[in-house]
């Protein structure tokens, strides 16, 4: 096995026992990057630093028996939505093509403090709006399992980078599924924490009441390590939660005997590909065999989640994106005939099609005559969905669903049918509406060798329990991955 294919926790053990060095780990990633990045385009900006001097220093520390963090010297990729001080942060938009933030986001700062190394800033859908990474102003990213297919989105670059071994882990963001769905499409683990668990400070805002940062990793153990590192209260984010962070490693290697896992009665699996249903049903059997009890639960409004999200998220986006006016951030149109013209032209040139559509929808839904009919109504349905989860979690420890109705689809297949693309978010969006944590764990492969994820959800701040079930599932499934073609 190549070093770039191994999870961080495993590599860390290997370097402590002298089997490998940090320099070798970093070299393995750099070599892989050289070989596949041109085919995949996972990154918008690559780090100029190859980090080999630092890796050498870390190896010296190890030889001196100094205690080091498991992330120290580990190459990690960052979605280009996180502000990185002195490093271009585009959010995959022309508007921010040359934007270099003067500050560092809290989540990336914490990863830096732990000693991880930045491989680069990954491609994504513009302003995180999309499910396929085809909405980027900087070209499409390809899925390493089949380069004609999308890696999912909006954190598709992060998913493609981790899955292909161009980084050992990555940071993504999830507003309506953008960590979990690309994780499912590329055969990695993606964890969306509870809203407020990880600081949003320094993340470019899309829909602020849903946006949440989280890890995208090779396995559940690594997701626990990254979450441990980035979680925590931050006074600079008013919605960040001032609560204790448990030691997530203690939830690994535990039995789930007797735990209750809910399956939602009203969940419409008829929209799913038959292979996705087959894999989901098998995954449920795996949990059963591990000793969990499967309980049917009812969430009558679950099918309203997509419509609800696609009102609220554009409303928040239309407000958040008001700051891109050609004055304060990013690019300004050149040929202008006055202030209003400057605003209009800058926004017309700076934003892509999908972003413009969301701004129009959001502005419309918030306008005086329609506010009650759309925005207020959507908030009421959001509350219903929230309370239905609350009710469900009185009876079960976790809820299991597929992550997406399909495996990765072909590039170009969905892009002209936004509604169909939106419907693909039906299983991920409910967790964002409720603010609860969710994880996508590799659940199987289709006959075409495309990965399919399995989603688990728990109640607020129960990431520990989520990791416990996810880890037990991963260990019980013992999925053998087919050989990647790239």
Residues that bind ligand GLN (CB under 6 A): 128-131, 154, 174-178, 206, 313, 425
294, 263 Cβ separation under 8 angstroms: yes
CA distances for 254 relative to 119, 394, 464, 466, angstroms:
33, 22, 11, 12
Taking the complex as a whole, the smallest distance from the CB of residue 103 to ligand GLN amounts, in Å, to 22
Length of the chain: 486
Nearest to 404 by CA among 148, 161, 132: 132
Distance of closest approach, residue 415 Cβ to ligand GLN, in angstroms: 12
Q: Is residue 485 annotated as part of the catalytic site, yes or no?
A: no
Of these residues, 131, 132, 178, 459, which one is catalytic? 178
The least CB distance from residue 130 to ligand GLN, in Å, is: 5
* Nearest residue (CB) to ligand GLN, 131 versus 141: 131
Question: Is-catalytic flag, 85?
Answer: no
Nearest Cα residue to 199 out of 270, 107, 63, 275: 107
The SS3 assignment for 87 reads strand
Q: Which is nearer to ligand GLN, 81 or 241 (CB)?
A: 81
Nearer to ligand GLN, 176 or 262 (CB): 176
Q: How far apart (Å, rounded) are the C-alpha atoms in residues 385 and 447?
A: 35
- 154 classed as catalytic: yes
Contacts of 264 (CB under 8 A, 6+ apart): 297, 298, 299, 302, 392, 399, 401
Which residues touch 184 (CB under 8 Å, ≥6 apart)? 152, 190, 403, 404, 407, 440, 443, 451, 452, 453, 455
Q: Which is nearer to ligand GLN, 130 or 442 (CB)?
A: 130
C-beta of 96: minimal distance to ligand GLN in Å?
16
- If the CB atoms of residues 135 and 229 are measured against ligand GLN, the closer one turns out to be 135
Closer residue to ligand GLN, CB minimum distance, 280 or 427: 427
Helix (H) or strand (E) holding 77: strand 75-79
Q: How many helices (DSSP H) and strands (DSSP E) are in the chain?
A: 15, 11
Closest CB to ligand GLN among residues 154, 301: 154
Residue 227 burial (10 A CB sphere; 0-12, 13-18, 19+)? buried
Which are the contacts of 414, defined by CB distance < 8 A and separation ≥ 6?
A: 131, 132, 150, 420, 421, 424
Q: Nearest approach, Cβ of 211 to ligand GLN (angstroms)?
A: 7
Give me the least distance between CB of 166 and ligand GLN, in Å please: 21
Least distance in Å: CB of 125 to ligand GLN? 7
- Candidate list 28, 70, 79, 318, residue with the active-site label: 79
Report the C-alpha gap between 329 and 186 in whole angstroms. Answer: 34
* 154, 155, 318, 346: the active-site residue: 154
Which tokens go with 276?
Answer: 């996705």
CA distances from 451 to 145, 177, 295, 389 (A): 8, 17, 26, 28
| Catalytic sites, residue numbers | 79, 154, 178
């Amino acid at each position: 096995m190549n070093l770039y294919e191994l999870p961080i926790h495993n590599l860390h053990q290997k370097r402590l026992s002298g089997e490998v060095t940090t320099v070798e780990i970093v070299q393995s990633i750099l070599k892989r990057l050289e070989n596949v990045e041109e085919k995949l385009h996972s990154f918008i900006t690559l780090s100029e630093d190859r980090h080999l001097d630092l890796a050498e220093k870390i190896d010296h520390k190890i030889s001196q028996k100094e205690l080091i963090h498991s992330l120290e010297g580990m190459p990690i990729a960052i979605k280009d939505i996180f502000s990185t001080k002195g490093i271009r942060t585009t959010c995959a938009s022309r508007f921010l093509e040359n934007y270099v933030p003067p500050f560092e986001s809290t989540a990336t700062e914490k990863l830096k403090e732990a000693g991880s190394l930045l491989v680069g800033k990954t491609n994504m859908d513009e302003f995180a709006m999309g499910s396929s990474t085809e909405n980027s102003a900087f070209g499409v990213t390809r899925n390493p399992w089949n380069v004609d297919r999308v890696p999912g989105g909006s954190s598709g670059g992060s998913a493609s980078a981790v899955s292909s071994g161009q980084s050992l882990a990555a940071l993504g963001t999830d507003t309506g599924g953008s960590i979990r769905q690309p994780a499912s499409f590329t055969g990695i683990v993606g964890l969306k924490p509870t809203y407020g668990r990880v600081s949003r400070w320094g993340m470019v805002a899309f829909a602020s009441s849903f946006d949440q940062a989280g890890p995208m990793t090779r396995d559940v153990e690594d997701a626990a390590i990254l979450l441990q590192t980035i979680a925590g209260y931050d006074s600079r984010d008013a919605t960040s939660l001032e609560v204790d962070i448990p030691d997530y490693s203690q939830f690994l290697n535990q039995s789930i005997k007797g735990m209750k896992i809910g399956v939602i009665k009203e969940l419409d699996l008829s929209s799913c590909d038959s292979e996705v249903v087959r894999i989901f049903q098998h995954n449920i059997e795996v949990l059963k065999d591990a000793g969990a009890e499967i309980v049917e639960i009812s969430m009558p409004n679950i099918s309203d989640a997509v419509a609800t999200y696609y009102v609220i998220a554009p409303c928040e986006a239309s407000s958040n994106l008001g700051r891109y006016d050609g004055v304060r951030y990013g690019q300004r149109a050149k040929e202008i005939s006055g202030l209003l013209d400057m605003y209009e032209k800058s926004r017309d040139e700076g934003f892509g099609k999908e972003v413009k559509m969301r701004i129009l929808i959001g502005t419309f839904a918030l306008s005086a005559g329609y506010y009650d009919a759309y925005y207020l109504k959507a908030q009421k349905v959001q509350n219903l969905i929230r309370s239905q989860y609350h009710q469900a979690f009185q009876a079960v420890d976790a809820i299991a669903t597929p992550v997406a109705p399909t495996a990765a689809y072909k590039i170009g297949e969905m892009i002209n049918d936004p509604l169909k693309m939106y419907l693909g978010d039906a299983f991920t969006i409910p967790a964002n509406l409720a603010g609860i944590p969710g994880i996508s764990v590799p659940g199987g492969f289709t006959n075409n060798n495309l990965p399919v994820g399995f989603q688990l959800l728990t109640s607020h701040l129960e990431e520990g329990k989520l990791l416990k079930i996810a880890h037990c599932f991963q260990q019980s499934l013992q999925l053998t991955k087919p050989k990647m073609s790239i």
